[in-house]
Amino acid sequence: MFIITLLLLPTFVSPVLGDNDCVQIDPCRCRLNNGSEINLHLINGSKQPLLEIKSAGDGHIYTYSPCAGIACGQGVNDAAICRNDELRKSPNTTGEISKAKFETDVIKTNWKLRYLTRDNKTNSVVHLTCATFTRLDLEPMYNATTFQFELYSPCACPDGCLAVATGLSTGTILLLIFLTLFILYFGVGSLYRKSVYGAEGREIVPHTSFWFSLPGLIKDGYLFFISPCLGDRVEYRYYDKL
């Protein structure tokens, strides 16, 4: 029976692992063979992904930054996981962002992120578990130099968090689009009027009469709007009251 199990195991395991290969795109994002992605950028919405947990055993605090390195101790600005005491006075890294590597978790048939330190003597393994909630757990260590964590998150699911955080709000994006169109309108319009019609001075502005009359139109509209509040002052007698 044992021999049969050994013969059949590769048949069941290999296809699963082959389909689950995750090609790394950046330290917290990889693409699966079927085109879907594991993307940790939006764990905290539009904010920088940053998770923290306190060990119940020794009281150490672990801060996890999967997408950008953080300062952790003297000379370390690239930490993915920072280990600190309760007073936060003795930080040291257990894995650096530049050493991040996606791996297939054979036991749990999902994925994990492994972080090495620059001297390759210490490493941290973060097992990624697809869930409807977000939580970071500290797991028992393999040995004295390998720290283990379990990250539960919708972003650990294939295509659970597709968009990459840009740091730009919707209003900022709309404003940038408006300014781009505004510049194109006046730039291309002025060039066209100068090259085709030989316009100069104020006439080079596209739709000249509209733009130069716009301030007066705005003023008239404003005065008309507030005229009911101003009584019978001479300058507003020519506007019909609401």
Which of 17-21, 161-165, 212-216 is modeled with the greatest confidence? 212-216
For all residues of the chain together, what is the average pLDDT? 81
DSSP 106: T
Q: Distance (Å, rounded) from C-alpha 133 to C-alpha 151?
A: 10
Shared domain check, 151 and 179 = no
Q: Which domain holds residue 76?
A: 2-156
Q: Quick one: pLDDT at residue 64?
A: 94
The answer to whether residue 100 sits within a structural domain is yes
| 100 and 193 housed in the same domain | no
Structural domain ending residue among the three candidates 130, 156, 182 = 156
Q: How confident is the model at residue 14 (pLDDT cuts 50, 70, 90)?
A: very low
pLDDT digits (tens, 9 = 90+) for 21-65: 889 999 999 999 888 999 998 887 767 788 999 887 778 999 999
Q: Over the stretch 91-107, which tens digit does the pLDDT of each residue have?
A: 999 999 999 999 987 76
* DSSP, residue by residue, the chain: -HHHHHHHHHHHHHHHHHHT-EEEEETTEEEETTS-EEE-TTTTTTSPP-EEEE-TTT--EEEE-SSS-B--STT---EEEEEE-TTS-S-EEEEEGGG-EEEEETTTTEEEEEEE-TTSS-EEEEEEEE-SS-EEEEEEEEETTEEEEEEEEGGGSTTSS-SPP-S--HHHHHHHHHHHHHHHHHHHHHHHHHHHH---GGGGSTTHHHHHHHHHHHHHHHHHHHGGGSTT-GGGTTS---
Residues 34 and 81 placed together within one structural domain of the fold: yes
Residue 81 belongs to some domain of the structure: yes
Domain co-membership, 34 together with 150: yes
Q: Which residue has the higher pLDDT, 186 or 167?
A: 186
Which range, of 70-79, 121-130, 207-216, 221-230, averages the lowest pLDDT? 221-230
147 in the same domain as 67:
yes
Residue-wise pLDDT tens digits, 157-180: 999 887 544 455 678 888 889 999
pLDDT at site 96: 94
Q: Is residue 242 part of a domain?
A: no
